[in-house]
């Protein structure tokens, strides 16, 4: 994205957890907004997926796929152009989030007990967002 920013997903799973692969997601929830009767906005759901094998390694880093960074850039630009409340203008990412699902070798969704769920941390040029484990019920599948 512009300004020299790079985005990566980083993981470190305890090898004893038996996670075979992870599916990472970028999701924007479906939303409808009426802005004081002057404008209406409908945002369809967006769900992008990237599968990563943990074969022979339980840690790693993944640069966000190009289509994810293009979507994020355009999403932020569109949200900032809408005439919304101050909170929406300051935090357009509230409508977009990342998540992940871990699976075992039998393609069964599992919950790694040692996995950490958290929130967000910003320090200078580093903006670290801890992504939450999702469940298959949180996803839309064709």
**Mean of the per-residue pLDDT values of the chain:** 81
pLDDT given at position 83: 55
- Which residues fall within 8 angstroms of residue 129, CB to CB, at 6 or more apart? 98, 119, 120, 121
pLDDT digits (tens, 9 = 90+) for 19-46: 999 999 999 888 887 878 887 878 889 9
Domain membership of residue 61 as a residue range: 2-130
Q: How many domains does the chain have?
A: 1
Question: What would the mean pLDDT of 98-102 be, rounded to a whole number?
Answer: 93
Tell whether 142 is covered by a domain: no
C-beta of residue 26 within 8 angstroms of C-beta of residue 96: yes
pLDDT digits (tens, 9 = 90+) for 50-71: 999 998 888 999 999 999 988 8
Tell whether 139 is covered by a domain: no
pTM above 0.95, yes or no: no
């Amino acid at each position: 994205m512009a300004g020299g920013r790079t985005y990566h997903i980083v993981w470190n799973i305890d090898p004893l957890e038996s996670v075979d692969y992870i599916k990472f997601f970028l999701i924007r929830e479906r939303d409808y907004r009426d802005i004081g009767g002057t404008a209406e906005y409908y945002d369809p759901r967006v769900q992008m997926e990237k599968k990563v094998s943990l074969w022979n390694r339980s840690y790693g880093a993944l640069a966000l796929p190009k289509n994810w960074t293009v979507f994020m850039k355009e999403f932020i630009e569109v949200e900032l152009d809408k005439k919304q409340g101050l909170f929406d203008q300051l935090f357009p990412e509230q409508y977009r989030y990342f998540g992940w699902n871990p699976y075992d070798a039998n393609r069964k969704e599992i919950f790694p007990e040692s996995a950490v769920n958290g929130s967000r941390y910003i320090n200078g040029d580093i903006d670290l967002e801890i992504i939450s484990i999702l469940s298959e019920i949180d996803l839309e599948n064709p």
